[in-house]
Structure 1
Amino acid sequence: MNYEAAQIGSEPRYELTGPETPRRRRRWVIAAVVVIVLAALAFFFLRGGKHDGGKAGAPAAQRGGEQLPSVSVAVPGRHLVARVVTATGNLAARREMPVGVAGEGGMVTRVLVEPGQWVGAGQVLATVDRQVQAQTAQSLAAQINVARADAEIAQQEYERAQQLVDRGFISKADLQRKGATLSAAQARVRVAQASLSEQRARNGRLDIRAPAAGLVLTRSVEPGQIVSSGSGALFRMAKGGEMEMRAQLAEGDLAGMRVGAQANVTPVGSSKAFPGQVWQVSPIIDPQTRQGIARVALKFAPELRPGGFAQAAIKSGAANLPQLPNSAIQSDAAGNYVYVIGDGDKVVRRAVTVGEVSDAGVSVASGLTGQERVVLSAGAFLSEGQKVKPVLQKRGG
């Protein structure tokens, strides 16, 4: 380090030179910055103490500028909520008609329908060979002609006898015999006609006909097959094409089920629901499964195939219950609950029992009266006893 002397007046002056001079300047600059920062902090704390009424150490929760979390709440009220029972079961024809041989049978000559076809009442489904029966009918028709000829001769003889008895050539007894002969001849004509009608009716029963209009479900006969009254069902039909679902319900659900209840049926493999209504409720319960059957009537649709499996949602009664959105319902190990806003705008936990779930929301079977302020969302971030700022939301319906 070098020192230089300068003469000012009579006293010498020494100036510091060399590498130590810039280092000292930086130290002074840093010290000045630190002093400024400390002064700013002191000013800030002194000002905050004045706002806190002189209590510089008061917690933020006790300060007048406290920021409470805002939460959306609603008063759910009570709404008419339908009770929906879900069930599964099989699809079937509502009135299934087995069709077999009504007459004496014979060899099938033609089958005129296929499964899936609609037929009318009395329409021929299959024909049976009738050659022998046709010959019998022709023979009976000829017998009618013979009987009519005999009746005509008897009629003529009776008329002549009436003329002769007036002239005294024959007795009244002879006239009476002629009249009896005529009556017998006319009776033989009627007998022959009845025999022919009977044979024609038998021939007509050889054809296998639909007993009513409907949809052909199955066919179990082919041309050349010999059939008789003991052959069983050759066709199965759904009367009018009407279908049904035989929903299996638990004993408790069946107790509240009523005829006429509306239902939506969704077959397996389809996303489309078909409307229907309960037309019959089983009067008995299976002692093994503790279940009963509710039969849901359905209109015909190609997707409704007898023997298929389906799921039904049946509306069974209704009740006035509070309804909430799904976001309002919380759940943990203790069960389902909601948060309501109590006195002093503090959060209170309320245990609830969840009812039916639908597009309109979740119904609350118990736990709420409907007049509480219920937290609609953000319940997972709240805790019981926490003070909040409720923001009331209007609920439709």
Structure 2
Amino acid sequence: MNYENGNLEGERLLIEDSRDRGRRRWVIVAGVVLLVIAVAAWLALRGGKDAEAPAPAGDQAPSVTVVVPGSQAVARTVAATGSLAAKREMPVGVAGEGGMVSRVLVEPGQWVKAGQVLATIDRSVQTQTADSLASQINVARADLTLAQAELERAQSLVDRGFISKADVQRRIATRDAAAARLRVTQATLSEQRARNARLDIRAPSPGLVLTRGVEPGQIVSSATGVLFRMAANGEMEMRAQLSEADLQAIHVGSSAQVIPVGEKRSFAGRVWQLSPVIDPQSRQGIARIQLSYDPALRPGGFASATIIAGDARQPELPQSALLSDSRGNYVYIVDAENRVRRRDVTLGSVSDDKVAIAGGLTGNERVVQAAGAFLNPGQLVKPVTPKGR
């Protein structure tokens, strides 16, 4: 009996001991799980902070060159497009009675002087008329000479009583009539010669021949219309289309650079006239930019222009400081805590090595001059200012 009780007590102790070991095992497992979770959370938190500012603090922060751009007088520009044309286009036609064209002496693209003959019209009939009038002048001059001689003889005889004063007066009248006929004939000849001269189609002023619309053998008259078109003095212009706001920004005398389509060169010009009216449909006006002659400037061609509208004070940065992405253009600035911050900017005029900042900067910021692509927002850096700035 006592043996059986002892066995039961031993079995009970063994069962209780195994249960205690199971509880301790679960406590240890739970502790390990909690420790793993805590470590994972700490690593995740540290990883997020490292993503924001991966650079080490203190002396290990990278050195970056910064510039304070300030503000400079920067030329404000206006972009425009338009067509090329002669500044003063001169249509040339028939000034006289016309006829059949006998010769055409010039070609498009040729320079001519004022009064130079461009084409001639057959004048065989007019030449005969002029010769006839010249002969009539000789007859009238002979009649005048004879009348004058008779008058002088009569005046020498009147004192002797051989001729009356009435005869002398008749001879004076005959002499005066002969002189008048001579003057009329001379005037008629001058008129005919002037008409003949107008049969030559001449350049009204020096310039460049743009078009030719006549050929030998063609019958022309004052109703024919334009035979040649010329650019006075060879001066060209670009007629730039501008919006109302841009037209207000520029003025007569503003300089401009014009680039014709297909041409790599730019041509310097100057605004010489602004349109006094605005087109009610397009809400645009015309700025006429005067250009010196160049074979590349062909009237009727298309061109683009950059017009200097005036000066504005804007920060200027080296092109190495500019970055861009899908959000637009930006720069990195260094704040008071020496951390990198992104700043979106609007670009102004661009030169070979400088970029004007039209918006986004005041000019007092410390801007990262280069290597911005290797930085991240929030990163701690050691700013270095170039010598001489």
Q: What residue is the counterpart of 1:356 in the other structure?
A: 349
1:188 paired with 2:181, answer yes
Taking only the aligned residue pairs, the percentage that are identical comes to 67
**Distance in structure 1 (CA, Å) of the matches to 2:348 and 2:264:** 25
Q: What residue is the counterpart of 2:73 in the other structure?
A: 80
1:344 paired with 2:340, answer no
Q: How far is the alpha carbon of 1:351 from its aligned partner?
A: 4.1
Q: How far is the alpha carbon of 1:174 from its aligned partner?
A: 2.4
Residues 348-382 of structure 1: CA deviation (Å, up to 9, x unaligned): 44443322222232212233232221112333443
2:110 to 102, 117, 122: 117
Q: How far is the alpha carbon of 1:241 from its aligned partner?
A: 1.2
1:241 to 234, 238, 241: 234
**Distance in structure 2 (CA, Å) of the matches to 1:366 and 1:190:** 82
Q: Residue 103 of structure 2 contacts residue 121 of structure 2 at CA under 8 Å; is this kept in 1?
A: yes
Q: Residue 74 of structure 1 contacts residue 395 of structure 1 at CA under 8 Å; is this kept in 2?
A: no
SS in 2 for 1:265: strand
> TM-score scaled to structure 1, two decimals?
0.80
Letter in 1 for 2:348: G
**Distance in structure 2 (CA, Å) of the matches to 1:79 and 1:272:** 28
**Distance in structure 2 (CA, Å) of the matches to 1:378 and 1:345:** 16
Q: How far is the alpha carbon of 1:198 from its aligned partner?
A: 0.4
**Distance in structure 1 (CA, Å) of the matches to 2:319 and 2:112:** 51
Q: What residue is the counterpart of 2:82 in the other structure?
A: 89
Q: What residue is the counterpart of 1:275 in the other structure?
A: 268
Q: Counterparts of 1:1-397 in structure 2 under 5 Å?
A: 66-331=59-324, 336-393=329-386
Q: What residue is the counterpart of 1:45 in the other structure?
A: none
Letter in 2 for 1:366: G
Q: Residue 161 of structure 1 contacts residue 175 of structure 1 at CA under 8 Å; is this kept in 2?
A: yes
Letter in 1 for 2:151: Y
**Distance in structure 2 (CA, Å) of the matches to 1:63 and 1:69:** 8
**Distance in structure 1 (CA, Å) of the matches to 2:180 and 2:123:** 29
**Distance in structure 2 (CA, Å) of the matches to 1:197 and 1:62:** 100
SS in 2 for 1:344: coil
SS in 1 for 2:279: coil
**Distance in structure 2 (CA, Å) of the matches to 1:125 and 1:87:** 37
Residues 22-81 of structure 1: CA deviation (Å, up to 9, x unaligned): xxxxxxxxxxxxxxxxxxxxxxxxxxxxxxxxxxxxx99999865112222101122221
**Distance in structure 2 (CA, Å) of the matches to 1:229 and 1:63:** 90
Number of residue equivalences: 338
**Distance in structure 1 (CA, Å) of the matches to 2:88 and 2:263:** 24
Runs (5+) with no aligned partner, structure 2: 1-49
- CA, structure 1 residues 100+61, in 2 after alignment: closer, same or farther (shift >3 Å)? closer
Q: How far is the alpha carbon of 1:233 from its aligned partner?
A: 0.6
- CA, structure 1 residues 117+378, in 2 after alignment: closer, same or farther (shift >3 Å)? same
Runs (5+) with no aligned partner, structure 1: 1-58
- CA, structure 1 residues 64+208, in 2 after alignment: closer, same or farther (shift >3 Å)? closer
CA RMSD of aligned residues (A): 2.3
SS in 1 for 2:60: coil
